[in-house]
């Protein structure tokens, strides 16, 4: 069963706590992405990675960190510096190349603050 | 259309009608566009894409139209079904590795 797996589905964060969201893909895609979605809003790019051991900031990277040690994994850490972390987080991946920019998404993780 | 605050523009149709969802994109350099469908609590699902050297592309029950002159994209859904109820997003890119997403339109289909 190929695809993108995000876990957990629901996550709760306490004040001052760092939490890590998991994203794994078995599509052999080179590029991976993290987005944040707030109610009634579109997707905003947090970080992306086009190759292992390399990643770039998106539009709203402050308060977040990522790593890309393996091609199939791109975890996102929501740090205590992110003061408004409550949102729906989406991970995506795509194959390389200029054309065929279709990004395929996981089912998402909903993060709430306790 | 674009949303205001927390409120998405909403299109309400009857089952069996044709639906047209519009999107105004912002970057005149964008040369590749995608439509996604997102059901409540799920990740976006790819519907159809189009390159800037095309004006129209058809899929199964869906058609995307591109008007580069006015930077407008539309998604037409034929014979809309209750299962088509979702939020629809357009996304654009000037050929870079990232996509810019619109804020979405909610489609409500009543039986």
Peptide bond into A8 cis (omega under 30): yes
Cβ neighbours around B100 below 10 Å, total: 19
Q: What pLDDT digit, counting tens, does each position of A9-38 carry?
A: 999 999 889 999 999 999 999 999 999 999
Q: What pLDDT digit, counting tens, does each position of B65-74 carry?
A: 999 999 999 9
For residue B79, the Cα-to-chain-centroid distance in whole angstroms is 16
CA distance to partner chain A, nearest, from residue B41 (Å): 8
- In a structure prediction context, what are the per-residue pLDDT tens digits for chain A, which is 114 residues long? 569 999 999 999 998 899 999 999 999 999 999 999 998 888 999 999 999 999 999 999 999 999 999 999 999 999 999 989 999 999 999 976 555 678 999 999 999 988
Tokens of B17: 């009608």
Q: Does A40 contact B3 at a Cβ distance shorter than 8 Å? A: yes
Q: Give chain A positions within 8 Å (CB) of B95.
A: 98, 101
Give the separation between CA A113 and CA A22, rounded to whole angstroms: 18
Q: Give chain B positions within 8 Å (CB) of A101.
A: 32, 34, 49, 93, 95, 97, 99
Judge residue B55's burial from the number of C-beta atoms within 10 Å of its C-beta, 0-12 exposed, 13-18 middle, 19 or more buried.
Answer: exposed
Q: Does A101 contact B34 at a Cβ distance shorter than 8 Å? A: yes
Identify the bridge partners of residue B93 per DSSP, sorted by sequence position. Answer: B32
Mutate to test the interface with A, among B44, B47, B54, B106 (most CBs of A within 10 A): B44
Alpha carbon separation from B63 to A56, B50, B73 (Å, rounded): 34, 10, 11
Give me the torsion for CA of B79, B40, A35, B59, rounded to 10°.
Answer: -10
Q: Give chain B positions within 8 Å (CB) of A4.
A: 43
Residues of B with a Cβ under 8 Å from any A Cβ are 3, 5-8, 32, 34, 36, 41-46, 49, 51, 89, 93, 95, 97-99, 101-104
Give the separation between CA A32 and CA A71, rounded to whole angstroms: 9
Task: Tell me what pLDDT residue B64 has.
Answer: 98
DSSP readout, A25-84?
E-S--SEEEEEEE-TT--EEEEEEEEETTEEEE-TT-TTEEE--SBTTB--EEE-TT-S-
Q: Give chain B positions within 8 Å (CB) of A42.
A: 89, 101-104
């Amino acid at each position: 069963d190929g695809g993108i797996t995000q876990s957990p589905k629901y996550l709760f964060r306490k004040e001052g706590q760092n939490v890590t969201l998991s994203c794994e893909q078995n599509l052999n895609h080179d590029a991976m992405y993290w987005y944040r979605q707030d109610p009634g809003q579109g997707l905003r790019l947090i970080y992306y990675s086009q190759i292992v051991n390399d990643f770039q900031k998106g539009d709203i990277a402050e308060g977040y960190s990522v790593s890309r040690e393996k091609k199939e994994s791109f975890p996102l850490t929501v740090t205590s510096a992110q003061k408004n972390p409550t949102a729906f987080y989406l991970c995506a991946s795509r194959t390389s190349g200029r054309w065929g920019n279709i990004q395929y998404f996981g089912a998402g993780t909903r993060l709430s603050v306790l | 259309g674009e949303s205001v605050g927390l409120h998405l523009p909403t299109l309400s149709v009857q089952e069996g009608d044709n639906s047209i969802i519009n999107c105004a994109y912002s970057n005149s350099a964008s040369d590749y566009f995608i439509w996604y469908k997102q059901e409540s609590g799920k990740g976006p699902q790819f519907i159809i894409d189009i390159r800037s050297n095309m004006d129209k592309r058809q899929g199964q029950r869906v058609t995307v139209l591109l008007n580069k002159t006015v930077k407008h994209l539309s998604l037409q859904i034929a014979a809309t079904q209750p299962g088509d109820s979702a939020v629809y997003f357009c996304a654009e890119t000037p050929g870079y590795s990232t996509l810019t997403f619109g804020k979405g339109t909610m489609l409500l289909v009543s039986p």
